[in-house]
A = this chain, B = another copy of it.
Amino acid sequence: MGLVVQKYGGSSVADAEGIKRVAKRIVDAKKNGHQVVVVVSAMGDTTDELIDLAEQVSPIPAGREFDMLLTAGERISMALLAMAIKNLGHEAQSFTGSQAGVITDSVHNKARIIDVTPGRIRTSVDEGNIAIVAGFQGVSQDKKDITTLGRGGSDTTAVALAAALDADVCEIYTDVDGVFTADPRVVKKARKIDWISFEDMLELASSGSKVLLHRCVEYARRYNIPIHVRSSFSGLKGTWVSNEPIEQGDQKVEQAIISGVAHDTSEAKVTVVGVPDKPGEAAVIFRAIADAEINIDMVVQNVSAASTGLTDISFTLPKTEGRKAIDALERAKTAIGFESLRYDDQIGKISLVGAGMKTNPGVTAGFFEALSGAGVNIELISTSEIRISVVTRADDVNEAVRAVHTAFGLDSDSDEAVVYGGTGR
């Protein structure tokens, strides 16, 4: 019986009833002989309400103060959760990110964890307490300012604490039963995955699966912390994410050829039209984008038209960064020497992920055949060793996902719809 880190998202602690339900679950883990450390997000809509208040006093809230504001959310949920646990006759203490030793850099609103020094948490659990830690927040190493970790930050807090405390497992409780072979809102026959490797999970996360964020999985892989994604609303086993397949009964769960189909409609496509087809042009373009601190995803350069000596370069990026990218390119127009820019936010990306791809040469062909069979036109293609992604029209995405899911035999036998939602932060 070792130490367990549990993380509960905002939807699991949305109201007093939710907090009491979660408290019972935590106490059950404690009764089973585990030391328990809990990471909790802000209650339901708290964060949105705080953001709304901030916008009322200032159109562009400042980073440092915005973090100070948002961290009030976890302070409320963690204190209430500790009270609810104490009300069940068990000892609990709540700790802010700073008190828990979550040390970050100084990039407000999306800080990165540099170190975790969980001395107070260790002492608290060794004294028999259940330790409740505020997710999503830390304290900056240099200035000792309060920071927040950005979207999905509470998951990262949980994994980082699990690593620092050498926990047996990090349980991520959410409002879905686990990681699915596709988004169950799109594919009714999506199946819950019992086990998935860190690598496949990383590809799914970066391809649009929202259950776990890339950063959290990356952290877990680096420190080899098994993650168990499961629902706080049911008692079901969820999805294990780890290096080695889990055992079920007498045998290990086998590595699937294909883990799942992910999709993403949050990106836009920028095409730089009429770029001189000479060395160094792409470098100038992507330096301009990088200087504007924009992360891009896929990049494709068309074959140059021999008659003009000009080519087009397309790339995808989050829609939220579109305006910034266009502005950055316009400023660099003379240096690059392109003719025009095209911006298209009606695109979608479909990705097939699975380590089995490496040794199953038919996968790529099967993927394109499925898309073709569904009448879906492909605009861009990008591949990694264990993933193949295409860009299509946004309107085609759902149909494409279903076709691919069926083609690779991922459909479950059951027809039951699964309720699916966000995981909070």
Chain A residues proximal to chain B, CB less than 8 Å: 16, 19-20, 23, 50, 53-54, 56-62, 64-66, 68-69, 71-73, 75-76, 78-84, 86-87, 92-94, 96, 99, 120, 144, 146
Contacts and interface: CB of A to CB of B under 8 A. Distances in A.
B99 A144 contact: yes
A57 B76 CA distance: 12
Contacts of A146: 96
A73 B73 CA distance: 10
B83 A58 contact: yes
A398 B79 CA distance: 42
B72 A76 contact: yes
B65 A53 contact: no
B94 A80 contact: no
Nearest to A76: B72
A57 B99 contact: no
Given A16-B57, A57-B16, A71-B75, A65 B50 contact: no
8 contacts: A19-B57, A58-B84, A58-B87, A62-B82, A64-B94, A65-B79, A68-B75, A72-B76
Contacts of A99: 144
Given A57-B19, A86-B62, A87-B58, A80 B69 contact: yes
Most chain B CB atoms below 10 A, which of A16, A62, A68, A82 = A68
Given A16-B57, A66-B83, 11 more contacts: A16-B56, A54-B83, A57-B87, A58-B86, A61-B83, A64-B94, A65-B79, A66-B79, A68-B75, A68-B78, A68-B79
Contacts of A75: 68-69, 71-72, 75
B72 A57 contact: no
Nearest to A99: B144
Count copies of this chain in the complex: 2
A16 B65 CA distance: 15
5 pairs of A and B residues whose beta carbons are closest in the complex:
A69-B79, A16-B56, A58-B87, A68-B79, A58-B83
A268 to B, nearest CB: 30
Contacts of A72: 72-73, 75-76, 79
A94 B65 CA distance: 7
A86 B83 CA distance: 36
Nearest to A70: B79
A65 B16 CA distance: 15
Nearest to A84: B57
Nearest to A19: B57
A101 to B, nearest CB: 12
Nearest to A42: B72
Nearest to A60: B87
A83 B62 contact: yes
Contact of A87 (B59, B64, B81): B59
A124 to B, nearest CB: 11
A68 B56 contact: no
B94 A76 contact: no
Contacts of A65: 79-80, 82-83, 86, 92-94
